[in-house]
Structure 1
Amino acid sequence: MTSDVETAPRAGGTFLFKESEGPNGGPGRTISFAGVDIQPRSYAELAAASSNLPITIQLDMYNGEILHTDFNGVDPGTVVHVSTTLESRFTSRAIGLVKGGWLPSALATIKADSIILVDRNVVTEIVSRFESGVKKGREPDFLDLFEDSPIRINPMLCALEGNSRRMPDPHETKAQIDEAVNKLRRALPKAEIVVGAKSLEGVLGLIENTRASFSRKNAMLLELAPTLCAPTSRKDVAARIASVIEAADRFDVSRKS
């Protein structure tokens, strides 16, 4: 079956599959369903993908409920499981990290209670694509499906990153939150920006909780940088790895960091 798929992730998570051509060359049949769970994709698929090219991934959806169909013998209310290859005309410049892996941004927010934690790069990509909720005409991307959608966005990661190449102080943190909120509201006015009275307090708490660890990692990287910035010959690789592990132990940084 050759088919097209349309989705309105924030409108109840409804998918519509429509055949390009039905049996024996007849009209294409349709089937719509909602409430699906989507299997996250693996790191190997992410590593093989290119952010500036249309994405092709295995799409496995399950626990969906059929809303309407003109397929014979298939009734509304039936639970549906779908396994297919998604050959999209969309790029996926921003991905969603979800439990168990990743998904293209719009598919990662299929559940009505999803909250998108955006970093500075994703905010920049959103702002470059939308003005007052309207797309600016760039190449199609999964982010375009956020147009006119009441998605929920939390910009706290932007504040944690800062823009001064050091851990931000309280004044800088508040300024970063305000800047991200203003940009997102201009770009996507129908989005719900999840920022409350306790947001700044929470971010500052996270910063303080990570300050000691950040300082140790920073010192370790500054020490190692001169030996890692230049090309390493094959015969020196093992010794270079050993020096990194030794430094991690000495600075009390997890070897898995």
Structure 2
Amino acid sequence: MVDTLSVKFNIAFHHRVTAYALQMGGWLPLAFCSAPMLLVDRNVTGMLRAIDRGEVRGDIEANEWWLEFLNSQSFFVNPVLCAIEGKSRSSPSYEEFGSAFVEARAVLQKGLPKARIIDYEEKHYRAAYEIVKGFTLRYEAEVRFLVSVAPMIAERHRDNVLPRVERKICELAVSCGLSLRSFPLITALSCLYEPRDGTEPRIGRGVIKPSRIYSEEQAHNAIADFRALETLVAVNLLGGPNSAFCTRDKYLAALWCGMQISDLGWRGGVMTFSITPIQKLFPRLNLGQHNALLKRLWSNDDV
């Protein structure tokens, strides 16, 4: 007979969590991140710049404390997500991709002098930029969808009109060439089915940030978040060291957890994975309504 021991205790950090390490299956505070490779996005490098400039902000102390966990030989820190997002709020050219990578890497080297910052040679830039090229056609479809759907979800709707708006959102996604299982569509529906009174969780709204007048630049910001999650899945499929994605965006962390990504694989050279959005993404729906929504999406996905 093997004796087992279960221990339960609470941990109080010096500061509220302001940085999240997204890993397959969920997220961890940076203090507990076990993945040796960390991808970082522009809101991390932006905060490192703010800390370096000595900006006076209410969240500086907490962010400085949490980001110090990155400043360690334990991690390889990769700025490729900054390069994929680019600097011009549009899909970057190869030159812009390389420039953004170099700039982000310099910020990381200065702000995290003890960390091992990934560097690229020309062959690595070419290989990484293939990710951007592979996203190009879908990028244009996603921009069209987000610009069109944002006014539809800018304000909360009465319960009796939700089915009609849902149908319009799904029809719009299909007309733009998007899957009904795509990140933009699921996130838009998360906005539609947020709490009636506007209280948390407002996960979809925190990522898309919809408004009645929504620009392509705003759409690009949301798409950059979706790309970061897809890239996290991709790098964990490549067979190298386990990777995590460090972000300061709590809504993006919640979206990642809420999507419940599983069944990672490759089919014909294309990355595949399953999404099973949890009920927390659609707070206005009860369990039965949530299951019915997933059934509608999954049975009507013709893309």
Q: Identify the structure with the greater helix proportion.
A: 2
Q: In structure 1, what is the Cα distance between the partners aligned to 2:133 and 2:5?
A: 47
1:85 aligns to what?
A: 10
1:250 aligns to what?
A: 175
1:138 aligns to what?
A: 61
For structure 2, list consecutive stretches of 5 or more residues without a partner in the other structure: 54-59, 183-303
Letter matched to residue 146 of structure 1: L
Which one of 30, 50, 60 corresponds to residue 105 of structure 1?
30
Letter matched to residue 125 of structure 1: M
Q: Identify the structure with the greater strand proportion.
A: 1
Q: In structure 2, what is the Cα distance between the partners aligned to 1:226 and 1:211?
A: 24
Indicate conservation of the 8 Å contact 1:91/1:142, yes or no: no
2:240 aligns to what?
A: none
What displacement does 1:184 show?
0.6
2:117 aligns to what?
A: 193
2:162 aligns to what?
A: 237
Q: In structure 2, what is the Cα distance between the partners aligned to 1:233 and 1:251?
A: 26
Question: How many aligned positions are there?
Answer: 171
Superposed, 1:209-228 pairs within 5 Å as 209-228=134-153
Q: In structure 2, what is the Cα distance between the partners aligned to 1:158 and 1:193?
A: 13
Indicate conservation of the 8 Å contact 2:72/2:114, yes or no: yes
For structure 1, list consecutive stretches of 5 or more residues without a partner in the other structure: 1-78, 132-136
Letter matched to residue 138 of structure 1: E
Q: In structure 2, what is the Cα distance between the partners aligned to 1:191 and 1:244?
A: 44
Indicate conservation of the 8 Å contact 2:173/2:179, yes or no: yes
Q: In structure 2, what is the Cα distance between the partners aligned to 1:80 and 1:168?
A: 53
Superposed, 1:135-214 pairs within 5 Å as 138-139=61-62, 141-147=65-71, 149-197=73-121, 198-214=123-139
Q: In structure 2, what is the Cα distance between the partners aligned to 1:128 and 1:187?
A: 10
Residues 15-67 of structure 1 deviation map (CA, whole Å, 9 limit, x = unaligned): xxxxxxxxxxxxxxxxxxxxxxxxxxxxxxxxxxxxxxxxxxxxxxxxxxxxx
Q: In structure 1, what is the Cα distance between the partners aligned to 2:52 and 2:72?
A: 10
Indicate how the Cα distance of structure 1 residues 82 and 157 shifts in structure 2: closer, same or farther if over 3 A, else same.
farther
SS in 2 for 1:245: helix
Fraction of identical pairs, as percent:
25
SS in 2 for 1:84: coil
Q: In structure 1, what is the Cα distance between the partners aligned to 2:23 and 2:72?
A: 23
Indicate how the Cα distance of structure 1 residues 142 and 236 shifts in structure 2: closer, same or farther if over 3 A, else same.
same
Q: In structure 2, what is the Cα distance between the partners aligned to 1:183 and 1:215?
A: 30
Task: Give the superposed CA RMSD.
Answer: 2.5
SS in 2 for 1:237: helix
Indicate conservation of the 8 Å contact 2:72/2:116, yes or no: no
